[in-house]
């Protein structure tokens, strides 16, 4: 099994890279998707978040009100740390289950936005970082409905590009469009993934 840790800042195009790797045969374990699952209605994770932050983080239908929770944690590092202490162990446990279910000869890509922040870089055979100009990331996030101020706050709450590059085995630059990004993924697969499978 070849384990690849995939990371990049919010709005960098990391999900696009994960999808391209899946097309080439990788098993993708998406930490963001798992993070949503572990706080779905009726889960112990959601109950723990409500116990920590109160009923105001619930939507009328009983689901997690993500904008309300974001308003609390993105401007308050201590609150964010409290949220992380609830959610991260649940995400890691679910990711470990997915990893154990993958075939022994699989290429497993773990898509982890906070790989650097949570100190997990050393857990992987390769760390793949997707990097995009900050202003382009802000533009993308505004296109998804965030205000520019919220977009910048979320970017600032994550590791810097320099911190990600420091742990990267390979850096993909996503500033020139999907075709160029796809070409970089093809090179990565040919140069780093396929040779590893021949050992």
- On the 0-12 / 13-18 / 19+ scale of CB atoms within 10 A, 51 is exposed
What crossing angle do the helices spanning 77-101 and 66-73 adopt, rounded to 10°?
120
The rounded distance, in Å, linking the Cα atoms of 175 and 34 is 28
Using one digit for the tens of pLDDT, what is the confidence trace for 130-187?
A: 999 999 999 999 999 989 998 998 898 899 999 999 999 999 999 888 999 999 999 9
Beta carbons within 10 angstroms of residue 137's beta carbon: 22
Provide the residue-wise pLDDT of the chain in tens; the chain has 199 residues: 999 999 999 999 999 999 999 999 999 999 889 999 999 999 999 999 999 999 999 999 999 999 999 888 877 889 989 999 999 899 989 989 988 999 989 999 999 988 998 898 999 999 999 999 999 999 999 999 989 998 998 898 899 999 999 999 999 999 888 999 999 999 999 999 998 865 4
- pTM, full prediction: 0.85
Q: Which residue, among 27, 23, 34, 2, has the nearest Cα to 181 in the 3D structure?
A: 23
Rounded distance between C-alpha atoms, residue 84 and residue 63, angstroms: 18
């Amino acid at each position: 099994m070849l384990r690849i840790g995939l990371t990049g800042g919010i709005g960098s195009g990391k999900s696009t890279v994960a999808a391209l790797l899946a097309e080439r045969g990788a098993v993708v374990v998406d930490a963001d998707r798992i993070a949503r699952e572990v706080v779905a209605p009726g889960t112990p994770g959601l109950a723990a978040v409500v116990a920590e932050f109160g009923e105001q983080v619930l939507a009328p239908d009983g689901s997690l009100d993500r904008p309300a929770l974001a308003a609390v944690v993105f401007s308050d590092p201590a609150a964010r740390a409290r949220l992380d202490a609830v959610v991260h162990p649940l995400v890691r446990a679910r990711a470990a289950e997915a990893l154990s279910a993958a075939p022994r000869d699989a290429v497993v890509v773990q898509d982890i936005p906070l790989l650097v922040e949570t100190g997990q870089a050393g857990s992987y055979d390769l760390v793949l970082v997707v990097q995009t100009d900050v202003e382009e990331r802000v533009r993308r996030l505004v296109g998804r409905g965030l205000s520019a101020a919220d977009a910048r706050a979320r970017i600032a709450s994550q590791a810097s590009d320099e911190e990600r590059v420091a742990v990267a085995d390979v850096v993909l630059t996503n500033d020139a469009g999907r075709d160029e990004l796809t070409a970089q993924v093809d090179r990565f697969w040919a140069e780093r993934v396929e040779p590893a499978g021949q050992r």
